[in-house]
Amino acid sequence: MTNPVLGIDIGGSGIKGALVDLEVGDFVTDRVRIPTPKKSTPQKVAAVAARIVNHFADQLDGTPIGITVPAVVTHGRTRSAANIDKSWIDAEAQTIFQEVLERPVLLMNDADAAGVAEVKYGAAKGHPGLVLVTTLGTGIGSALINRGVLVPNSELGHVEIDGFDAESRASAGVKTKLDLSYAEWIPLLQRYYSHIEALFWPDLIVVGGGISKNANKFLPKLKLKTPIVPADLRNRAGIIGAAWLAADSLVHPDTVEE
């Protein structure tokens, strides 16, 4: 077995980490979960990530640690903060994590990580075409992966539909907040996926996020031209994809200068 790689997934309520065996695409160990600090600035979140890193320290080699955030990330800088503390906007977050963790880090968007995991090991494993992975949670995350290669930061939760930011109408968070039944939520999802399908024409759509465990209650009701399937790796996808992308960054470093 090659050395496992640590993936850490930063969410609104919990920061989770596990060692990943990239040969099989699964956890080597149990997952460690620590609640996200109240005012979740990059510094405070990095301090929590350090506790997770310390937990696994004796099993780590020099491979970067893959860390996901629910934000746009370009060249190590977080650029947006839709459902997280606004201090992430334009933070040099990857550098902050590297300084606090004293290790190399690759920071990435959470949905991108989950999407890569589904294409490498999950519901879209080995798919040769254009796969769109969406995560339905507090917001809507998206990952566009063509022939196994990620186009990062697609942010398709923020397309404007009928004058509204799409995730403010159709996310699972909205379903919970407004206490919508599946029958009430499905038309909102239908409007969302029809719009996205007409713009991108993917070969396959994968739907993740916590609510995907009830996929049988809504996916079969959607009328689309594209096959649409539930995610396979569920809440392990972010950590697994983070580890995969971190290891891949050694082979394909980010060489674009800003």
Residues found near ligand BGC in the complex (CB under 6 A): 70-72, 80, 82-83, 109-111, 135, 137, 139, 141, 155, 157, 167
CA 17/CA 4 separation, integer angstroms: 12
Alpha helices, H only, 59-181: 93-101, 110-120, 167-170, 172-177
CB of 223 to ligand BGC, least distance (A): 25
User: Left if phi > 0, otherwise alpha if psi is -120 to 50, otherwise beta: which for 191?
Assistant: alpha
Three-class SS state of 220? helix
* Angle, CA of 205, 211 and 215, to the nearest 5°: 55
Cβ atoms of 132 and 144 within 8 Å: the answer is yes
CA distances from 144 to 50, 130, 148 (A): 30, 7, 9
Strand partners, 229: 206
**What residue is closest to ligand BGC based on CB?**
139
CB of 23 to ligand BGC, least distance (A): 27
CB of 203 to ligand BGC, least distance (A): 22
CA 246/CA 6 separation, integer angstroms: 9
CA 54/CA 40 separation, integer angstroms: 20
CB of 110 to ligand BGC, least distance (A): 5
CA 143/CA 149 separation, integer angstroms: 10
- Which is nearer to ligand BGC, 101 or 172 (by Cβ)? 172
HSE-CB of 64 using CA atoms within 13 angstroms: 25
- Which is nearer to ligand BGC, 187 or 210 (by Cβ)? 210
- Which is nearer to ligand BGC, 40 or 135 (by Cβ)? 135
Tokens 């990580």, located at residue:
113
CA 160/CA 111 separation, integer angstroms: 19
- Which is nearer to ligand BGC, 63 or 135 (by Cβ)? 135
Cβ atoms of 34 and 14 within 8 Å: the answer is yes
CB of 81 to ligand BGC, least distance (A): 8
- Which is nearer to ligand BGC, 19 or 123 (by Cβ)? 123
CB of 145 to ligand BGC, least distance (A): 14
- Which is nearer to ligand BGC, 63 or 80 (by Cβ)? 80
- Which is nearer to ligand BGC, 53 or 84 (by Cβ)? 84
CB of 139 to ligand BGC, least distance (A): 3
